[in-house]
Amino acid sequence: MEDIIIRKLEVGDADEVQRIQYAITKKADDIDYRRVVENVVTDAQHVAAAATVGGVFAGYMITYMMLGGFGLPKSAWITNFGVDPGYMGQGIGKRLAQWVLREYDERGVTHVYTTVPWDSVDLLSFFRTIGFDRSNFINLCRR
């Protein structure tokens, strides 16, 4: 396999982010990925990464820094993450997470959170392999 390159996500990557989301979920959604990517990459406090393999966009991770959230002085949230199904199982997700977590370590962020659907065994397993576990928070939702 060619080398995996991890770099900062760029606004021009929005179409690729949307392509991967569709490839994973098999559902078209009404999310404006250009706006999502633009918001995260233009605010220096947030961290977003892209993975390429042989120049081909293969994955991404979008995160947001939170200040003063429910008693935590500084924390971050992984809000969107995906690897092209054709590249899954090759360590791309792990490399993206390592890059993002290293960025936050350098900024003194001690807590990084994410949410995972309770029945998403593959995603839950992935996050556990990179050191995530249950937190003291309970996710709440209002519909």
Phi and psi based region of residue 131 (left: phi greater than 0; alpha: psi -120 to 50; beta: remaining): left
Confidence of residue 20 (pLDDT cuts 50, 70, 90): very high
pLDDT above 60: residue 1? no
Q: Which residues contact 111 (CB under 8 A, 6 or more apart)?
A: 72, 74, 75, 76
Token pair listed for 20? 């991967």
More confident residue, 141 or 48: 48
What was the pLDDT predicted at 110?
87
β pairing state of 111-114 and 72-83? parallel
Superfamily in which the 4-129 domain is placed by CATH: Gcn5-related N-acetyltransferase (GNAT) (3.40.630.30)
| Domain chopping of the chain, boundaries | 4-129
Q: What is the mean pLDDT of the chain?
A: 92
pTM: 0.91
